[in-house]
Amino acid sequence: MNGQTWLVAKNTYRNKVKSFGFWAIVLSPFLVAAIYLIIGLVVNSGFNQTGKLAVVNNAQIATVLKADKSLNTSISEVSSLEVAKTELTDGKVDGYLTEDSGKFTLVTTNKTSSKFNQTSFQAALTQLKMQVTAATLGLSSSDLQKLMTPASLTMKTQSQNGTGSGGDAKIGANMGIATVISVLIFMLLMIYAGMVAQEIGNEKSNRIMETLLAVTSSKVQYYGKILGVILLTMTQLSFYAIGFAIAYPFIKDLDAVKSMTGLISGIDLGFGIYVFLMSFFGILGYLFLASIIASLVNEQAQVQQAVQPLTFFSMIGYIGGIAGAAVPGNVVLRVLSFIPFISPTLMSSRYAIQFSSATEAYIALGLQIIATLAVAKLGERIYARNVLSYSSEKIFTQLIKNITGRETSSNQAGKSKSFLMRPAYSLRGKEVPVWRVLFVILVIIIIAIFNFLRR
């Protein structure tokens, strides 16, 4: 990486990091979290208030409920249903409880129903009913305790990696993190793929590119912008990490934070390393794709429309990961999880819940790395070919012509062939272009994947 590339990267980074749009993107999750926290505190303040419950003419039930501290309720006794209704109407109690032939009814108003947890009350009343039934049947307290003792069950998970204990906790942790990572990958690649495309489209539409290429090469501009956007991505993630580290002592007791830390503690190192590598090369690959597409536009207004197909393409893996949880053995999803640019989200989800083995996951990672490098090399040539071209043809048509080596309407004849059209080797006196070699290799890889999955 030469000094000019770093100069372009720093210039791209400096321009974006000073913009309001970048910090709006960075700070928006904190704003959403703050709103969520405020709403949660308001809602919890209502739930945490001690409710007042009147038990109608049943001292035994009142005694049992008073002893249960988990109900967070003030229990009182009333002599009749009429008295209970009057107190509820006057606001002296938040509800009343009646019992008829073993059936319980808890009546509240629409203003106070949230103060009573139905699950907690049902558990307490079920316990009481079992005690009454045991006494009727002549069972002792020890007999009742034996009946209530839960069965001993040890969970083990049989996967392609072998059998291990504590599988549910591990799979749950990995799945939770894989879901978060999938959303994060999708969010980051949409933000930064659009950003690098807007940067190139802006310079091209304003005819700034001619000036830039007068002092640097297209290769320097191409890789410099990608590197600058990667630095922006690292800045955003570092900002989140530092912000969470500062806020953690103040929010560590929140249920959501406890759940998140519980998930993190359940991740194994191998899965964490895999997700990081797959995320990095997935986002990097989409940045190169966005740069290729942006080099074909003539005006900045075309950028959003041109990049939109990338959005739909990236959603295949995300939606496939969700669908794969319901039908993990689906052959189509298994094959798609090996396809580059789909695999970063889909394979991460399948590997997280052990629908795919470590071998399959790292094969997908290897294919994604190869695809990213191939797209980067191909994009370097397409970028140089079109960054100063202002063709009136459709973007898709231009892209096909660039891949096949045909000239667009604005390019002059006699230019050198594209990378894919250059001869790879000579067969019986005929030159075989690179794209045919790559196509044969791709077919061989797909056949190998199918044979691998049929084992």
β-bridge pairing 95-100 and 73-78: unpaired
Burial class (CB in 10 A: 0-12, 13-18, 19+), 277: middle
Residue 420 DSSP one-character state: G
* Identity of the amino acid at 47: F
Whether 418 and 406 have beta carbons less than 8 Å apart is answered as no
Enter the tokens of residue 172: 């749950």
* Identity of the amino acid at 278: M
With b meaning 16 or more CB within 10 Å and e meaning fewer, what string describes 168-193?
eebbebbbbbbbebbebbbebbbbbb
Whether 50 and 73 have beta carbons less than 8 Å apart is answered as yes
CA separation for the pair 16, 199 (Å, rounded): 9
Residue 372 DSSP one-character state: H
With b meaning 16 or more CB within 10 Å and e meaning fewer, what string describes 38-48?
eeeeeeeeeee
Q: Which residues contact 322 (CB under 8 A, 6 or more apart)?
A: 349
CA separation for the pair 120, 209 (Å, rounded): 68
Identify the pLDDT of residue 372: 92
* Identity of the amino acid at 10: K
CA separation for the pair 431, 424 (Å, rounded): 7
Instruction: Give this prediction's pTM.
Output: 0.63
β partners of residue 162: 159
Best CA proximity match to 161, nearest among 381, 415, 356: 356
Phi, psi of 241 (to 5 degrees): -65, -45
Q: Which domains, ranges and CATH numbers included, belong to the chain?
A: 3-30+167-394 (no CATH), 50-144 (3.40.190)
Q: Which residues contact 4 (CB under 8 A, 6 or more apart)?
A: 216, 217, 220, 224
Going 312 to 315 to 316 to 322, the CA torsion angle's sign is: negative
Residue 455 DSSP one-character state: -
- Long-range CB pairs of 432-435 (<8 Å, 24+ gap) are 433/405, 435/403, 435/404
SS3 56: strand
CA separation for the pair 44, 38 (Å, rounded): 10
* DSSP string for residues in 142-202: HHHHHHHSPPP---EEEETTEEEESHHHHHHHHHHHHHHHHHHHHHHHHHHHHHHHHHHHH
Whether 157 and 353 have beta carbons less than 8 Å apart is answered as no
Enter the tokens of residue 386: 């079109």
β partners of residue 273: none
* DSSP string for residues in 242-295: HHHHHHHHHHTTSHHHHHHHHHHHT--HHHHHHHHHHHHHHHHHHHHHHHHHHT
Enter the tokens of residue 319: 């939606």
Q: Which residues contact 412 (CB under 8 A, 6 or more apart)?
A: none
Identify the pLDDT of residue 292: 82
* Identity of the amino acid at 97: L
Q: Identify the residue whose tokens are 């009946």.
A: 147
pLDDT in tens, the chain (455 residues): 567 888 888 888 888 888 888 888 888 877 877 787 777 666 665 555 678 888 898 888 888 888 887 787 888 888 888 988 888 888 888 888 998 877 888 888 776 655 677 888 888 888 888 877 887 787 777 877 777 777 777 666 555 544 444 455 555 555 666 667 677 777 777 788 778 777 777 776 666 666 666 677 888 888 888 888 888 888 888 888 888 788 778 777 766 666 666 656 555 678 778 888 988 898 888 888 888 887 777 666 667 777 777 778 888 877 776 666 566 677 788 888 888 888 888 888 788 777 788 888 899 999 999 999 988 888 888 887 777 666 656 656 666 666 555 554 444 444 445 445 555 444 455 555 555 566 666 666 666 665 555 55
Identify the pLDDT of residue 365: 93
